[in-house]
Amino acid sequence: MKPAPPPLAWITPRLRQELAAVLGPEETIPSFLEEAVRAHIAWRRTQREFLKQGLLEAERARGDNDTVSAAEVLARMDARLEPAPEKKRGRKRG
């Protein structure tokens, strides 16, 4: 792990001003940064888990030969749209 930089040394004066402008009445820059880092870590974990599950499901579907090509999906969508009356497709012109 990299050593921590001196507190706030990496924050430019402009960024520090923007940060101070959004702080709540009892909030400090360090508490804001800690909350932001914790939230981002949680987001990354959630994102990583989502991708992991998606890749596992895709692998399962390929293994079961339970997939549909993009071309087939688009063809099915086009087929469903073709018989739709004009009023269901959008506003009538005229």
Whether 7 is in a domain gets the answer no
Whether 94 is in a domain gets the answer no
How does pLDDT run across 33-92, given as a tens digit for each residue? 899 999 999 999 999 999 999 999 999 988 888 888 899 999 999 999 887 666 665 655
State the amino acid at position 92 in one-letter form: K
Alpha-carbon dihedral angle through residues 13, 15, 16, 20, given to the nearest 10 degrees: 140
d(CA 58, CA 53): 9
Q: Which helix (DSSP H) or strand (DSSP E) does residue 94 occupy?
A: none
Whether 90 is in a domain gets the answer no
Whether 2 is in a domain gets the answer no
Whether 43 is in a domain gets the answer yes
Whether 45 is in a domain gets the answer yes
Who contacts 92 (Cβ-Cβ below 8 Å, separation ≥6)? Answer: 86
- Check whether 16 has a pLDDT greater than 60: yes
Tokens of 9: 């040394």
Whether 52 is in a domain gets the answer yes
Whether 93 is in a domain gets the answer no
Cβ atoms within 10 Å, residue 29: 14
- Check whether 32 has a pLDDT greater than 80: yes
Whether this model's pTM surpasses 0.85: no
Which residues span the domain enclosing 37? 13-84
Domain count within the chain: 1
What's the pLDDT at 62? 86
